[in-house]
Structure 1
Amino acid sequence: MSHLPQLILLDLDGTLYIGNQPIPGAIAALAQLRERGIALRFITNTTTKSQDELVAQLRVMGFQLHADELISAAVAATLELRNLQQQAARPLRIWPLVADAIKTDFTEFIWDEKKPDYIVLGDIGDRWDLHLINRLFNVMHSGAELIALHKGRFWQTSEGLKADIGFFVAGLEYVSSKTARIMGKPNRDFYRLVLDSTKVKAENALMVGDDIDSDVGGAQLIGIKGCLVKTGKFRQVYFEQSDIKPDYVIGSVAELLTAIA
């Protein structure tokens, strides 16, 4: 990059921290970026915590940020539902199958598990079972559309890699012959939403994350450069097999300024 980006988009879990532990050097690295006048946006597919909880979690770990600098997939879904409701010219009925922590994000809509217009699907942990899958299938077969807060394949935990909700989203798409609306990364509209919030053009932005598919690949789809960090879910074999070519590959976010300067 011949000049520093005006905007840097940062993934959270696996990029800035793992569990409740900041990646070594991450806090200082972000402070250096701010000193250079670079705008920051924290973007995440995490759907088990509300926006306020995520901001508080980052601050407790020592990161400095304003609440409006964090944009989550749940926020994007709320905006999308408002647009759909406006187009429908009537109140929308939704089934918010999401973590309890973010259910309050959807209280402006009518909740209906029997005949919803849209199922809003997020992370629900161990609540998945065959009975629930069949309920969802039948509701979709009767006309409901699916909004997925993201379609992640897997994620890094303190206990190792775990399959993500993309497993269930893809399965529901297959059995219903429908295509879900994906709200979080790598959705193009999600990245455009972030760019619009800053008035920065794609070519002047950089995405930094540990997921070569949704972080780097998703950003590159709309012209944002992508930087892959070798922390979190990064796996060398998966990286080598991918068709996606990051603009930068660094050991961790601590090396970011050195790499792009």
Structure 2
Amino acid sequence: MDVTALLIDIDGVLYVGDSPVAGADRTLAFLEEQGIAYRFVSNTTRRSRRSVAAKLAGLGYAVPEDLIVTSPVAAVARMQERGQSRCFLLATGDLCRDFEQGGIEVAEKDVDAVIVGDAGENFTYEKMNAAFRLLLEGADLIALEKDRYWMGSDGLQLSAGPFVAALEYAAGVRAEVMGKPSREFFTLALRQMGAEPGEAAMIGDDIFTDIGGARAAGLRGVLVKTGKYREEAVRRSGIRPDLVIGSMAALPEHLADGRR
């Protein structure tokens, strides 16, 4: 596979639960040696970009923050473009840090947008109803991701997608998706490397958001059999990856012909 740039998913590709994927660190070293540009792209919405970098460091990955592209960062950029300054944030963790650093105030009323990430146990009736009412008042609905589920340390867990769909249905609006599989998200990450879609590939464990989104945006899609990978889901999807590998550790042998 002849590529000059790679987009690499994080959760399920570099680690699963609290364990790093064996050999993934050697693959990153290989990319550095060969001069292949890369960015880490994630729909993770339970952590700020700083926290993502800190988690990776704890697992043995020395990843600078500026190599991490997340949907919250993309959402902040979109609100800034629109001149918006207040949002209702339905999420968990320290995600508010990314918005506050971008000059976006997190508020409960009179907001420009309702931002929905993977809120976990914060997806209460009270919070969902508050978001619903704000949407009826005219706030934009921005989904940080629309994944159906993700692989946690104790098994598959619901992600933000089902809850975004519920708000869309109830309020009669359509969410703007800032993370994968949004074409704009892939474009944002590629722009940082000065790369075009036709010369890049996406490595991920989700057949829909990673592979389907990448192929729709003009990138090649490499599916790894770690994380949330399920053979039956791939078969039912109708999406054909350009390459399927056991894990991130197997990537170098398929990039051999494209070494720089």
- For normalisation by structure 1, the TM-score amounts to 0.93
Q: Deviations over 1:148-200 (max 9, x none)?
A: 11111000011111111101001111111111111111111000000111101
Matched, 1:99 2:97: no
SS at match of 1:101: coil
- 1:112 is displaced (CA, Å) by 3.4
Matched, 1:234 2:232: no
Q: Which residue of the partner structure matches residue 77 of structure 1? A: 75
Distance 1:74 1:219 in 2: 19
SS at match of 1:113: coil
Matched, 1:213 2:213: no
Q: Which residue of the partner structure matches residue 250 of structure 2? A: 255
Distance 2:107 2:247 in 1: 44
Q: What fraction of aligned residue pairs are identical, expressed as a percent? A: 40
- 1:99 is displaced (CA, Å) by 2.0
Q: Which residue of the partner structure matches residue 35 of structure 2? A: 37
Q: Which runs of 5+ in 1 are unaligned?
A: 86-90
Q: Which residue of the partner structure matches residue 88 of structure 1? A: none
User: Where do 1:197-208 residues align within 5 Å?
Assistant: 197-208=192-203
SS at match of 2:208: helix
Q: Which residue of the partner structure matches residue 13 of structure 2? A: 15
Q: Which residue of the partner structure matches residue 195 of structure 1? A: 190
Range with greater deviation from structure 2 (53-62 or 173-182): 53-62
RMSD of aligned Cα (Å):
1.3
Alignment check: 8 A CA contact 2:88 2:131 kept: no
- 1:233 is displaced (CA, Å) by 0.2
Q: Deviations over 1:69-116 (max 9, x none)?
A: 11111111111110011xxxxx53321222240112222124432221
**Structure-2 change in CA distance of 1:62 and 1:233 (3 Å):** same
Q: Which residue of the partner structure matches residue 24 of structure 1? A: 22
Distance 1:138 1:49 in 2: 26
Alignment check: 8 A CA contact 1:121 1:148 kept: yes
Q: Which runs of 5+ in 2 are unaligned?
A: none
- 1:258 is displaced (CA, Å) by 1.1
- 1:248 is displaced (CA, Å) by 0.3
Alignment check: 8 A CA contact 2:87 2:107 kept: yes
Distance 2:104 2:235 in 1: 44
Alignment check: 8 A CA contact 1:250 1:259 kept: no
Alignment check: 8 A CA contact 2:18 2:153 kept: no
Q: Deviations over 1:19-39 (max 9, x none)?
A: 221111111111112111111
Range with greater deviation from structure 2 (97-106 or 235-244): 97-106
**Structure-2 change in CA distance of 1:66 and 1:111 (3 Å):** closer
Q: Which residue of the partner structure matches residue 104 of structure 2? A: 109
Distance 1:238 1:100 in 2: 29
Q: Which residue of the partner structure matches residue 148 of structure 1? A: 143
Tell me the number of residue pairs that the alignment of Structure 1 and Structure 2 aligns.
254
Q: Which residue of the partner structure matches residue 153 of structure 2? A: 158
Range with greater deviation from structure 2 (133-142 or 205-214): 133-142
Alignment check: 8 A CA contact 1:227 1:250 kept: yes
Range with greater deviation from structure 2 (92-101 or 169-178): 92-101
SS at match of 2:192: helix
Q: Deviations over 1:218-237 (max 9, x none)?
A: 11111110000001000011
SS at match of 1:143: coil
SS at match of 1:167: helix
Q: After TM superposition, where is structure 1 displaced by more than 4 Å over at least 4 residues in a row?
A: none
- For normalisation by structure 2, the TM-score amounts to 0.94
